Structure 1
Amino acid sequence: MLEIVQRTVVELRPQAEGLSVTLHSVLDRDLGIDSLARVELWSRIEHEFGVHLPENLFASADTPADVLYVLHSRHGAEAIRPLPSSDAIEALTTTAQTPDAAQTLIEVLDWHVRQQPQRLHVRLLGENDQQDDISYGALHQGALAVAAGLQRCGLLAGQTVALMLPTGRDFLHGFFGILLAGGVPVPIYPPLRLSQIEDHLQRQAGILRNAEAKVLITVTQAKLLARLLQPQVPSLTHIASVAELTAEGGECLTPPRLANDIAFLQYTSGSTGQPKGVMVSHANLLANLRTMGGVLKVGPQDVFVSWLPMYHDMGLIGAWLGSLYYGYSLVLMSPLAFLARPARWLWAIDRLHGTLSAAPNFAYELCLSKLADKDLEGLDLSRWRIAFNGAEPVSPETLQRFTERFARYGFAPTAMAPVYGLAEATLGVAFPPLGRGPLIDRVQREAFQLHGTALPAAADASAVLRFVSSGRPLPGHQIRIVDSSAVELPERNEGHLQFRGPSTTDGYYRNPEETGRVLRDGWFDSLDFAYMAGGEVYLTGRAKDLIIRAGRNIYPYDVEAAVGNLPGLRKGCIAVFGSPDPATGTERLVVLAESYEKDAAVRQQLQQEVNRIVVDLTGVSPDDIVLAPPHSVLKTSSGKIRRAASRELYERGELGRPHLAVWRQLLRLVVQAVRRHIGRRWRACRAALYAAYIWLLFWLVTPLTWLGVAVLPRQRWCRSFTRMAARLFVGLTGVPFSVTGLEHLPEAGASVLAANHASYLDGVILCAALPPQFSFVAKRELADQWIAGRFLRKLGAHFVERFDLQRSAADAAPLAEALEAGQSLVFFPEGTFTREPGLRTFHMGAFVLAARVGVPLLPVAICGTRRVLRDGQWFPRYGAIHVNVCPPLLAQGPDWLQAIKLRDTTIAMLLEHLDESERAQRAG
């Protein structure tokens, strides 16, 4: 039976060939089987087993297991080999390679312990590459011992436990021990050097207070100083090492945990402000892991090699918990081991056959600058199929130089994958298509810095900016770019990146003010600037780091990367920030660079070189260039520049000399800033006025159209009147509107039109574009609405059920009768629309009917309506709309497979005429 289901799904969606179909797969949600596809599936099952399935099963069955249960009951039990018990049915699910039914992280570990307790889970690399292997069973046993110790300390379900441990067995046992005890882990980074532990713990006091940590698990050497924190953290009652927690043994009772319970708190790095505790639920975590794994096609055959810190989301979730879920081996090494000898990372990938690994951009740069050719002799990176680059801005120069240099060692350029994610989305938000390699966009510098428009630059242009694509939103997740008023922007316009999806956090722990600031109507503000192009997202900078200087937008990272290449300055130790000038109300552009140089002449030369680079990149001179001694630039635990904190030091006069501004320069800055502000306000005002005009027009035309249709006695008159009103409305909006391909419409006989669905405007646009002989097929819930239902019935619309599966299948009969009677029908096969670009999954109704009745089907491509009025955004924008009626298609027969071919050909033809972003989204 599962083979039948698998074959049906693959026929519907060929891209799902690798999809694992289990007894617990939900037919509609997981497998995309709609009502007509369910009719075909039922027919195949009945034919295969020689049984007649009860009618109520059509609507009540959610999974193949439901069908299997009926097959082994009174209906057709003699036709197939009976299963001895329900345990045998459950046994069939053991063939699955992943814990698809798990709802919590605890259930994921339990699944592996039941299925493969001795399988290698983590291989720890110690000094001299000594290996310490941990199986799933060993992880579980070690975690149980920690859990027993925590419960002896009085830990209750839902209480938080801070975990301040280096990468190693203790961290892994401690993390899961907290979960098994019913607690909430709070990973925080350990001190790099024990000599700095007091200062380090003082800086962690804020996290411990906010988390209300009950217990702190740390190394033995830190316990004495950690106790000094207890007066500052009233909730902290116990400080212990893993060895102390496990010394007495004992049993633990794991409290039940639900999918929406907090799995752990992920504290942000604090690069742009105070650290905040992101609440990551079990549901958030598993949704992100499952989506990322599906996109990356990971499996037990993979090997992930990681040196990433376990307190960072990329290391904790991307490396460890991803390997835990999918059952592939994880090779863990200390972050300090990588920093001391970057070659150890690459050689570990070679020797241990690594296929996956991840790092921030600086790590790839470190491999370029610190490794000589002699360090790499004999290196083989040919098995490395995905090299994630994220967690900080990605440099196009680093991508190019790394792929070029390491190509000679087998590294495939297509393996490099710049990605975008953040703790507030659990981890991943956007990934590039698998095996494509980096995509770099060259835009005109002037237009981008002045107006925030990413206009493509000519091939020979020199004044350009280059941005790296972070890929496309993960399936089921959405990204939008909005202006400061939360109004969505069109493509190639820079704005605030917002996201939403099943992985998005509910907010920050015990911080409702900050949660309310960034989470609105289900959309989370990333505080990043970005733009979209061709369905891809391009990050341009952090909102808090943006500097507005002389009417231009200046992104610190671009300047820092360029200045850091100067000999005499410490690469990666440059901070560029804006400092307000109270006298003028403008921002000063400050470049803070670390240097060992002491000679006055050399320092002056360096300042001149920095000034030249900044002018070349931004068109303006920096107001102050501070050459500071090493370790002056503040960083987060993950190595990100703390620009806000560095700016505070500068403003307190602790870095270099204050800059004395020239009044002419300041006056020019004021004038340009005022002009830019007025220009922005005018554009926003113009857009608001246009939106208000559209809605005024709508409320004038719509009631008159409804009244006209209500009083006209004939259906043909009603349709002609509606078409005239729709064309009037579109004309008065002023949007460029065009229609092509009307000559493809049959002069006689019925036909089916299948149009893509992108906006509420689509119905109005088709009324304006098409001759009045077509009837729309609408969702049945509209029929019960007095205003909409009466209007649509007068136009001859046909209504179909969306939620009742039996009624939905039965609605096909009257539609077939209408076609046979000569009535042409218009379908939106997607059934609904969303704000995301691209085509949704097509329902089979229109194609099954066209094949069975033998009438031509014409694809209709509607372009531009999503940009004018996007779903969830009641702020119409000016934009061109075009409708193209494609040549007719005719099925070669009435059967199911011919209907599928008709659907696939329709999708292909629509994609040829849709926008670039629609095509890109579908291709992904």
Structure 2
Amino acid sequence: ITVPEARKVAHLLRAQVPDLKHIVTVAELMASSVTAVPPALSGNDIAFLQYTSGSTGNPKGVVLTHANLLANIRAMGQTVRVTSEDVFVSWLPLYHDMGLIGAWLGSLYYAMLLVVMSPLSFLARPERWLWTIHRYRGTLSASPNFGYEYCLKRLKDEDLEGLDLGCWRAAFNGAETISPDTLQQFTSRFANHGFHAGAMMPVYGLAESSVGLAFPPLNRGPVIDQIERSTFMRSGQAKPQPGSGEHALRFVSSGSPLPGHQIRIVDTAGQELPERQEGRLEFRGPSTTSGYYRDADNTRKLFHQDWLDSGDLAYIANGEVYITGRIKDIIIRAGRNIYPHELEEAVGNIPGIRTGRVAVFGSADTRTATERLIVLAETRSRDDVEREKLRTGINTLATDLVGAPPDEVVLAPPGTVLKTSSGKIRRAASRELFEKGGIGKRQRSLPWQVTRLALAGVLPQTRRMLNSLSAMAYAVYCWLVFAVLAPVAWLCATLLPGDTLRWSAVRGCTRLLAKASATPVRVSGLENLPTDGTACVLVANHASYLDSYALVASLPGTFRFVGKAELAKTFIVRRPLENIHTEFVERFDISKSVSDSRHLSDVLQAGHTLMFFAEGTFTRIPGLMPFHLGAFKVAAEAGVPVIPIAIRGTRSVLRADNWLPRRGSIHIDIGPAIHPRDLEQQAGKDSWKTAIALRERCREFILRHCGEPDLA
């Protein structure tokens, strides 16, 4: 889904992204006449994927369920005491977790007014944000630290005449490193416009915890911890430094974990650390993700038993969390930890350096096997003398802050320092650009970039075309094999004498079809089938037209399918099915369905096994639908066991409404028999209650083994 201006580029990308099927605009979606069917959802279903910012690596898709989001919104609302009388003012984009979950979904849940403005409007004229709070009497609003810094640097006193921020009771500051200076300066400057110091709330959160994880107490204001720089950089101990603290390190408290959530600080061995000792921040709670979408390796790294690794370094003091930096961003030099954000902020304040456009990172030195300290800073200056002064200033500043000058200072043109879509510095990507020698190179012209993008898609497009031709050839081949075997199976089922001979011939044809089409059918649990000829009810899920073929090919002995009466209307279908004793039942005529039920009970009493597809039908959408009660009622009345059978893979090979079979494998799991007499303690002698209990037990097994979601 994109904007009209980006469609042409999107079509070029389509050649390189195999899963990209359609490119549409919002207007086209709105004009569609297709009516969406509301899905059947539970709290554990996925609500959406929230991608991490990518500031320290490639973005990862965080799986968030409806229950995760509701738990987080409720916990944040409880901490801030949100009511429907509040007014949330937001300029944050919807791809930002604070904008989507905190502002939009939070306002929806608490039925409060949400006043929305464009991020571009804020960037062009930041005073619009503050005046919108003034006009609508906003009580809640949020921004990353740079938003508050932007207001401080861009706004003049005349822009603020008459501004009243006395209504603003919670100003959330999070999503990136929080600057103590920014907090103090914003609070001080806007106090003249009614802004309360207690309204400023430095918060901590991450995508893996939906959005929020730690909040400070309401109406307290920021708490800044001043600690000894050398001790902390050497040992990670956050030892308080009283006095003016000219060379001290300062970190901002993010408060305590939200209700129902927990945070701990651990060392590299996973042992919990005492207060004021820096370590890895781990967390758990109802808002936490189950993992990264289709990324098993990173999901394993995320979990340490039932705790999740935040990727952040922090310490706890007086029960409150102080974030010190991202683990991947920390630079180790001469046994000391260097924290990039402090140096970046200080360098950005040097006249001539672009604020917020500085990246500090470590780069491996292959000769000495150590890490070099690199400062990459953007400047518009082209004067050699001026640039040399900037380098000298950066070296002096770095020496004061971290005890040594950088190994290299790179002054780059505007647009060099890479950022995420939410404005965070991409230090890892900037380091990669530096190490590849890509800094300072002129960008190619637009026609060249478009041509290169188009050429880059030729090979993937050709490969995809060959794959499509291969898939089509396979489908044609499968239908040719079917066209040969189907008449043979029909004649065998129609003309051969005796059930055993007919079943052997039909089973041989289905197995030959599976072998010729290279579709392995794997079966487990055959030992759960009766071997003494005892009648039972077999119940399977229904996912494809191939289900019947797979069951005939894999199950031993003979059994009778229970099929819909509509199948008996056509001679070419009815004749072979009748000859293998398929029982046709009426689905829509209640009086006939009652007599059909009695007849099926008689069939079971006579010693014949019945095979039911309990869902009654199948669709192209993966998922286990509700089970009809018929099979279980018949089993309860006849007093015979029910054996659940989970079929997996047939929907992938041949989907409903699609006549092109695809390569794949089929798995059939046969569960242990469930006997009505074993459920008497739960259901008593009531056959109706017994049937319901049989259905629940049977469906539980099939849902566990069919590999598809629950649609009931």
Is 1:546 matched with 2:330? yes
Quote how far apart the aligned CAs of 1:335 are. Answer: 0.5
- TM-superposed deviation, 1:485: 1.3
1:645 maps to what in 2?
429
> What pairs with 1:296-445 in structure 2 (closer than 5 Å)?
296-445=80-229
On the 8 A contact 2:416/2:440 being kept in 1, the answer is no
1:274 to 58, 61, 67: 58
Checking the alignment, whether the CA contact within 8 Å between 1:444 and 1:454 is kept in structure 2 is yes
Q: Does 1:557 align with 2:341?
A: yes
C-alpha distance in 2, partners of 1:227/1:391?
33
2:291 alignment partner in structure 1 = 507
Aligned counterpart, 1:604: 388
Q: How far has the Cα of 1:392 moved from its partner?
A: 0.5
For residues 405 and 460 of structure 1, do their structure 2 counterparts lie closer, same or farther at Cα, with a shift above 3 Å needed? closer
1:242 aligns with 2:14: no
* Counterpart pick for 2:258 among 474, 485, 489: 474
Q: Residue type of the partner of 1:488?
A: E
- Within 1, Cα distance between the matches of 2:377 and 2:183? 24
Which SS does the other structure have where 2:272 is aligned? Answer: coil
State the partner residue of 1:523: 307
Q: CA deviation at 1:250?
A: 5.2
The amino acid of 1:415's aligned partner reads A
Contact 1:626–1:656 (CA<8 Å) still a contact in 2?
A: no
Q: Does 1:231 align with 2:19?
A: no
1:654 to 438, 456, 475: 438
Which whole-Å CA distance do the structure 2 matches of 1:221 and 1:648 have between them?
30
Name the CA distance, whole Å, in 2 between partners of 1:425 and 1:279. 10
Q: How does 1:724-739 map to 2 (within 5 A)?
A: none
Higher relative contact order (CA 8 A, sep 6+): 2
Amino acid at match of 2:229: R
CA drift of 1:656 comes to 7.2
Counterparts of 1:284-299 in structure 2 under 5 Å? 284-299=68-83
Q: What does the per-residue CA deviation read over 1:853-905, in whole Å, with 9 as the maximum and x for residues that have no partner?
A: xxxxxxxxxxxxxxxxxxxxxxxxxxxxxxxxxxxxxxxxxxxxxxxxxxxxx
Give SS of 1:528's match: strand
Structure with bigger gyration radius: 2
Is the 1:306–1:332 contact (alpha carbons within 8 Å) kept by the matching residues of 2? yes
Deviations along 1:250-307, one digit per CA (max 9) or x if unpaired, are: 5432120111110001111111101110001001000001111011100110000000
Match of 2:352 in 1: 568
Give the AA of the match of 2:51.
Answer: Y
2:116, 2:16 → 1: CA distance? 34
Letter of the aligned partner of 1:335 in structure 2? P
Secondary structure of residue in 1 paired with 2:69: helix
Q: 2:203–2:255: 8 Å Cα contact kept in structure 1?
A: yes
Q: Contact (CA 8 Å) 2:413, 2:440: kept in 1 or not? A: no
Q: Give the secondary-structure state (helix, strand or coil) at the position aligned to 1:323.
A: helix
Aligned to 1:453: 237
Contact preservation (8 Å) 2:226, 2:245: no
Aligned to 1:219: 3
| Equivalent position SS for 1:539 | strand
1:650–1:656: 8 Å Cα contact kept in structure 2? Answer: no
Percent of paired sites with the same residue: 63
Tell me the amino acid that sits aligned with residue 607 of structure 1.
Answer: R
Match of 1:492 in 2: 276
Give, in angstroms, the shift of residue 460 of structure 1.
4.0
Inter-CA distance 508–612: structure 2 relative to 1 (3 Å threshold): same
In structure 1, distance between residues paired with 2:210 and 2:144: 17
* 2:102 aligned partner, one-letter code: G
Q: What's the C-alpha RMSD, in Å, of the aligned pairs?
A: 1.3
Structure 2 unaligned regions, length at least 5: 442-712
Shift of the 276–256 alpha-carbon distance from structure 1 to 2, 3 Å rule, reads: same
Is the Cα–Cα contact under 8 Å of residues 550 and 620 in structure 1 kept in the other structure? no
Residue 150 of structure 2 aligns with an amino acid whose one-letter code is L
Distance, in Å, in 1 between the alignment partners of 2:413 and 2:353 is 10
Tell me the SS of whatever aligns to 2:239.
Answer: coil
CA distance in 2, matches of 1:609, 1:373: 30
The alpha-carbon deviation at position 597 of structure 1 amounts to 1.5
Counterpart position of 2:508: none
Q: Offset of 1:532 from its aligned partner?
A: 0.4
Is the CA contact (8 Å cut-off) linking 2:266 and 2:272 kept in structure 1? yes
For residue 236 of structure 1, report the CA deviation from its aligned partner: 2.6
Cα separation, 2, equivalents of 1:608 and 1:237: 54
Q: Size of the alignment, in residue pairs?
A: 441
Q: What amino acid is aligned across from residue 580 of structure 1 in structure 2?
A: A
**Matching residue within 401, 408, 412 for 1:617:** 401
Distance 1:496 1:269 in 2: 19
Q: Deviations over 1:221-265 (max 9, x none)?
A: 333432333332323322222322232435432120111110001
Question: What is the TM-score with the length of structure 2 in the denominator?
Answer: 0.61
1:693-714 deviations in Å (ceiling 9; x for gaps): xxxxxxxxxxxxxxxxxxxxxx
Q: Deviations over 1:498-554 (max 9, x none)?
A: 111000000100001011011121211111111000000000001000000111100
Contact 2:76 2:258 in 1 (8 A): yes
CA drift of 1:319 comes to 0.4
Q: Deviation per CA, 1:381-434, whole angstroms, max 9, x where unpaired?
A: 000000000010000000000000000000001000000001110010000000
> For the Cα contact (< 8 Å) 2:217–2:255, is it kept in 1?
yes
- How high is the TM-score relative to the length of structure 1? 0.47
Matched, 1:581 2:365: yes
Q: Tell which deviates more after alignment, 615-624 or 343-352.
A: 615-624
For 1:610, give the aligned amino acid.
I
Cα gap change, 1:242 to 1:598, in 2 (>3 Å): closer
Q: Tell me the residue number matched to 2:37.
A: 253
The alpha carbon displacement at 1:654 in A equals 3.1
SS at match of 1:298: coil
SS of residue matched to 1:309: coil
